[in-house]
Amino acid sequence: KETEFMIRSECSLRHSASLANKVFIQRDYTDGTVCKFQTKFPSELESRIERTLFEDTVKTLNNYYAEAEKIGGQSYLEGCLACLTIYLIFLCIETRYEKVLKKISRYIQEQNEKVYAPRGLLITDPIERGMRVIEISVYEDRGSSGSSSGSSTTSSSGR
């Protein structure tokens, strides 16, 4: 499960690194209430990861969420079927949204393994944070003084 992977990743990172900072990518509501995250590159990550990689991750996540919330033929079919069965069908089958959420968690796991963990970063699945934020944990090597937490107070004013 996602949580177990997060714990294992965190533990493995913690053996050689300590949590220095957390960066939060907030929601972007300009398209309404659909789930979409801001693609603006946070300044705290400038030294840690390339801008394009980060933007790709966020854009892919946004596309996944758009697919989950897409209103079209399949969602209407699901809705009508649910209405006819007095919504009891939700007890039996997995909704399309839930299927896409599983895809998202697999994608995040893969991104963490391939892209973020080698750079000392860890992405938390937004569903674990109530879809409010994408939380990116920034780890520092224990060897360094771990003073990067001070940079967040000044850099956040630039947002």
Partner 1 sequence: MKNCEYQQIDPRALRTSTTRTSTNKNVRVRRKWEVFPGNNRFYCDGRIMLARQCGVLPLTIGLIFITSGLFFIFDCPFLVHNLTFFIPVIGGVLFVFVVITLFQTSFIDPGILPRALPDEAADIEKQIDNSGSSTYRPPPRTKEILINDQVVKLKYCFTCKMFRPPRTSHCSLCDNCVERFDHHCPWVGNCVGKRNYRFFYAFIVSLSFLTSFIFGCVITHLTLRSQSMNGIIQAIKESPASVVELVICFFSIWSILGLSGFHTYLVASNLTTNEDIKGSWSSKRGEESGNPYTYNNIFTNCCVVLCGPMPPSLLDRRGFLLPDDAPQIVTSDTELPHFVAKNDTNMCTQGTKELLESMAHSTVIQSTCAPDTPKTTPVPQESLLRTVSITVSPSSKSPSTGCSVCQARCPIDAPCSQRGNKQAALHTHKPMLRVSSPPYSLGHSPIILSDTPDMGFIPLN
Is residue 135 close enough to count as binding partner 1 by CB under 8 A? yes
Q: Which of 80, 106, 110, 142 binds partner 1 (CB under 8 A)?
A: 80
Is residue 73 close enough to count as binding partner 1 by CB under 8 A? no
Is residue 133 close enough to count as binding partner 1 by CB under 8 A? yes
Binding mask 27-66 for partner 1 (x = CB under 8 A): xxxxxxx----x-x--------------------------
69 within 8 A of 97, measured Cβ to Cβ: yes
126 within 8 A of 132, measured Cβ to Cβ: yes
Is residue 156 close enough to count as binding partner 1 by CB under 8 A? yes
Cα 103 to Cα 106: distance, rounded to the nearest angstrom: 5
Residue 114 CB, nearest approach to partner 1 (Å): 25
What is the DSSP track for 56-77? HHHHHHHHHHHHHT--SHHHHH
89 within 8 A of 81, measured Cβ to Cβ: yes
Residue 136 CB, nearest approach to partner 1 (Å): 11
- Per-residue tokens: 147: 């003073």
- Per-residue tokens: 54: 């980060």
Q: Which of 8, 59, 106, 132 binds partner 1 (CB under 8 A)?
A: 132
